[in-house]
Each structure stands twice: as structure tokens, then as C-alpha cells.
Amino acid sequence: MFKQAATYNHHTNIQEYTDTVTAYISKCVDDVTETKTITVRANQKPWLTGDVHRLLRARNAAFRAGDEAGLRTARANLSRGIKEAKRQYTGRIAHRFSDSRDTRSLWQGIQTITGYKPRPQVCDSDITLLNNLNDFFAHFEASNNTPAQKTPPPPNDQVLSLSPASTLDYDTTTVNTPPPAPLT
């Protein structure tokens, strides 16, 4: 459908073709996804959840209202909420270390604890390298006039063939080994 729209006199305009496909993909993404605005602050702690923010707003409202008893209970609720949020955050980080076979999760936990953030990769906006690569590889396509041919296998070569019946004989038993002892 898109290729037909971008084809004139048996020549396909690749730029129009890619623009049309990209625009259609963007439209589909916009139709099925929901846009949500998230405010990220530079000093926001990872354990600050929506509940803690709600408790902060309640404490601030009690302070502005001048209600001493309400302020006292709001402060106590906020302290309890912060302790609970920190406990839950600690549990989430500790859970990353529970499975020693998942090294990706282990490294993510280490990076979270140490506060490691990789430097963002900077894309070089100079396109001369890209144009040089395109020219280099286009040279091979322009000088290659021979059509592609499939080479026949040698006469004594055996072709690998698998059937469902031949794979059923495979032994699928696993050896259960105990997990390693925890480090102390």
C-alpha cells in the first residue's frame, strides 16, 4: 500500500516511502499510547513515592491552617510514611541480589547503590562520515553486474535434517544441584 503510493513510472521514491511508513507508525503509536507528564527533580530521592508526597501535602496543609494537633499527627504520619517508603525501597534493591544467576540485575543493584550513571552518548552531527561510507559501499553495488547464484553443495556432502521424531529421543532430564551457600 505504501510502496504503491510512493511509486511513479515504475520507480519508487525511497524518501517518500520511508516518510509515509514512519508517519503511519507514529500515528498508530499515538492512537494506542497515552501521554503522561512526569516531573523529575534533580534532587528527588528514589524512595519518594506518591504516598509520601500526599503525606507531605497533608503536613503542609495542617501547618498553613495553624492546626497544632493536626500538624502533630501529620508529622507523625509523614515520619511513618517515610520509614515505610525507605523500607520498601531497600527491599526492592535487596531483591536484585536474591538471584545470583541474574547478573544483569546484580549489576543494576550495584549501580543503584553506588549512584553510577553512565555518561549519555553524544551523537556526532557531522554526516560526512556517513556519506563517505555510503559512497564506499555503493561503489561495490555499481561495479557488481553478475546476478547472485546459489552454489550447489558438493556431491558427497550430507544435508542436516531434523524431524520431530528424531528430537524426541533427546534426554531432557536436568540435574538439580543445591544453591551455593550464602556469603556471610
Tens of pLDDT, residue by residue over 11-33, are 667 777 788 888 888 888 888 88
Structural domain containing residue 66: 46-120
Q: What is the mean pLDDT of the chain?
A: 81
From CA 127, how far away is CA 138, in angstroms rounded?
Answer: 16
pLDDT digits (tens, 9 = 90+) for 49-100: 899 999 999 999 999 999 999 999 999 999 999 999 999 998 888 887 777 7
In a domain, 144, yes or no: no
51 with 105, same domain: the answer is yes
Would you say the pTM of this structure is higher than 0.95?
no
57 with 18, same domain: the answer is no
Total domain count, the chain: 2
Q: How far, in Å, are 101, 155, 158 from residue 33 at the CA level?
A: 34, 56, 51
Q: Which residues sit opposite 8 in a β-bridge? A: 11
53 with 115, same domain: the answer is yes
The whole-number average pLDDT for the span 147-164 is 74
**For 75-84, 117-126, 138-147, 169-178, which range has the lowest pLDDT when averaged over its residues?**
169-178
